[in-house]
Amino acid sequence: MKAGMVITGLLLTGAVLAQEKPATEEEYFPQQMTAKELLYACASSSLTRVGRERKKYCQGFVSGAEEAARLLATQDRGGNERRYCFPQGKTAGYFAEVFMKYAAGKTADLDKPAVLVVIEALEDSFACER
């Protein structure tokens, strides 16, 4: 009796695993996302689990680009002027909104790599006054 229950359990587990779609690395970590694809993720609905995951991905992506730009701005030792004057205390969601506003504009080339358009949005929105 116990052996029959164990076999049934294994068969059911195997059937469930066989039906799951195997996750590929490309689905979760695209190597060069376009700005259009990132804008799509940023504009996803918060009403669904997938939409919330896309929004979090967007915020993390934009926040990473912002953090890299901030670090590079502080590392400039060549006497060049600072390129960015970032506001203090802003969230990743705030910077994602800045990207979305810029990307939705007429001048953004959404076929470019997403990171380039994020940097353009940051330069446009937070350029230091001269």
**Tens digits of residue pLDDT in 63-89:** 999 988 888 776 655 656 567 788 889
- Tokens 């993720």: give the residue: 41
Within 8 A by CB and 6+ apart from 109, the residues are 35, 117
pLDDT, position 88: 87
Measured N-to-C along each axis, helices 92-103 and 49-75 cross at an angle, to the nearest 10 degrees, of 90
Is 22 part of any domain? no
CATH number at residue 95: 1.10.890
Q: Report percent pLDDT > 70 for the chain.
A: 68
Domain hosting 64: range is 30-126
Q: What is the pLDDT of residues 96-121, one digit of tens each?
A: 999 999 999 888 899 999 999 999 99
Let me know if residue 19 belongs to a domain. Answer: no
In the chain, how many domains are there?
1
Q: Would you list the DSSP string of 53-106?
A: HHHHHHHHHHHHHHHHHHHHHHH--SSPPPSB-PPTT--HHHHHHHHHHHHTST
